[in-house]
Amino acid sequence: MNPTIYKEICLEERTFFLQGVFDDFNQRLRIEDYRGNVEHIQEKIEAFVNQTKYAKVIVKARNEHVDEWMKQGFQLEATIPHYFNGSTAYCMAKYYEATRRKSDQWMKEDEYANSVKKLPQQQELVSLPSHYILRKAIVEDAPLLTALYRAVFEIYPTPLHDVSYVKNLLETDGLFYVIEHEGEIVSAASAEINHTYHNAELTDCATLPAHRQGGVMKHLLTKLEEALVEKNVFCAYTIARSLSFGMNAAFHQLGYSYCGRFTNNCYIFDNLEDMNVWVKDLSQVVKK
């Protein structure tokens, strides 16, 4: 991770273990993993919030701890079934500013989500036109990927505008697939794999406006799913902009289930945006 934006934390105290991320860019603390005394963990979280002045804390809680987190002032925003090696993650949040808790677009986003869920699922993919090339990204693609993300997103919650950051992802464990047209990368998506709990977030989806017809993103997402199944990773999820009808529709039509919404979750363009959670159990996909 880019140290100027994210700082990973890992604490081992007498009564608990805590692993998470300080996210300065989005003014939030994410607790990705924990064990032990929830009340003591929350005391540490409060100390962190007092230091950072963050407006939001997110915890991926286990089923047996949901009540305990609610007693600490957290509320359920979404679930990710199968996240913990088959068990559900309960995504709970606590807000420290009233403005961060309030969403003026919530009712409109509900309308979008309801409209998306009425669309038919599991449609056959239309063949990718011959002038497009779908392939796995390589390290040398870093400048082209960065150019794509700069063109599509003025502001993005991870530093994909930084060539060195993207290059590091591709050199380590970053799984990107791209669609190329006349030597230019016009669409891309990635899978961020959690090797401890065997799940993956499908993310970094971007397509140049001139190439958004014909379902190119669905081809990328399907290819990523195939790659995950080969690695025995069966929990796939994504966090999509609630006001992006096209992206939400793409995941719904590929068989993902709507599992909740994060309020004012991260900066996209120049605003904090609500994000929908979509989840798919890849072990249930019938092999053709």
| pLDDT, tens digit (0-9, with 9 covering 90-100), for 123-182 | 678 889 889 999 999 999 999 999 999 999 887 878 888 999 999 999 987 899 999 999
Co-location of 63 and 166 in the same domain: no
List Cβ neighbours of 272 (8 Å cut-off, separation of 6 or more).
26, 100, 264, 265, 266
Co-location of 121 and 81 in the same domain: no
pTM score: 0.92
Domain ranges, residue 22: 6-101
Co-location of 206 and 235 in the same domain: yes
Q: Distance between CA atoms of 200 and 250, rounded to whole angstroms?
A: 17
Co-location of 35 and 131 in the same domain: no
The 10s digit of each residue's pLDDT in 13-30 is 999 999 999 999 999 999
Q: Which of 45, 76, 101 is the last residue of a domain?
A: 101
pLDDT at res. 214: 76
Q: Average model confidence (pLDDT) for the chain?
A: 93
Tell me if 23 is assigned to some domain: yes
Q: Which amino acid is at 35?
A: R
Q: Distance between CA atoms of 132 and 172, rounded to whole angstroms?
A: 27
Name which of 62, 68, 70, 64 is nearest 88 in CA terms.
62
Q: Distance between CA atoms of 258 and 80, rounded to whole angstroms?
A: 10
Co-location of 71 and 194 in the same domain: no
Tell me if 1 is assigned to some domain: no
Tokens of 282: 């890849």
In the block, residue with structure tokens 């989840």: 279
Tell me if 206 is assigned to some domain: yes
Co-location of 96 and 111 in the same domain: no
Q: Which of 60, 83, 101 is the last residue of a domain?
A: 101
221 and 237 in contact (C-beta within 8 Å)? Answer: no
pLDDT at res. 174: 83
Co-location of 95 and 135 in the same domain: no
Q: Distance between CA atoms of 14 and 245, rounded to whole angstroms?
A: 47
CATH of the domain at 45: 3.40.630.30
The 10s digit of each residue's pLDDT in 35-77 is 999 999 999 999 999 999 999 999 999 999 999 999 999 999 9
Co-location of 239 and 148 in the same domain: yes
Tell me if 257 is assigned to some domain: yes
Co-location of 248 and 159 in the same domain: yes
- Dmax over CA atoms of the chain, in Å, equals 60
Q: Distance between CA atoms of 89 and 60, rounded to whole angstroms?
A: 6
Name which of 283, 279, 256, 282 is nearest 81 in CA terms.
279
Tell me if 155 is assigned to some domain: yes
Number of domains the chain is built from? 2
Mutual angle of helices 163-171 and 142-152, in 10-degree steps: 130
Terminal-residue alpha carbon distance, the chain: 38
pLDDT band at 215 (very low <50, low <70, confident <90, very high): confident
Co-location of 26 and 135 in the same domain: no
Q: Positive or negative, the Cα torsion across 259, 225, 212, 137?
A: positive
Tell me if 165 is assigned to some domain: yes
**DSSP H or E stretch at residue 50:** helix 38-52
Q: Distance between CA atoms of 39 and 77, rounded to whole angstroms?
A: 20
Tell me if 143 is assigned to some domain: yes
Q: Distance between CA atoms of 1 and 158, rounded to whole angstroms?
A: 9
Co-location of 125 and 165 in the same domain: yes
Q: Which of 101, 136, 168 is the last residue of a domain?
A: 101
Co-location of 169 and 96 in the same domain: no
Q: For residue 79, how far is the Cα from the chain centroid? A: 13
Tokens of 242: 């609630």
156 and 268 in contact (C-beta within 8 Å)? Answer: yes
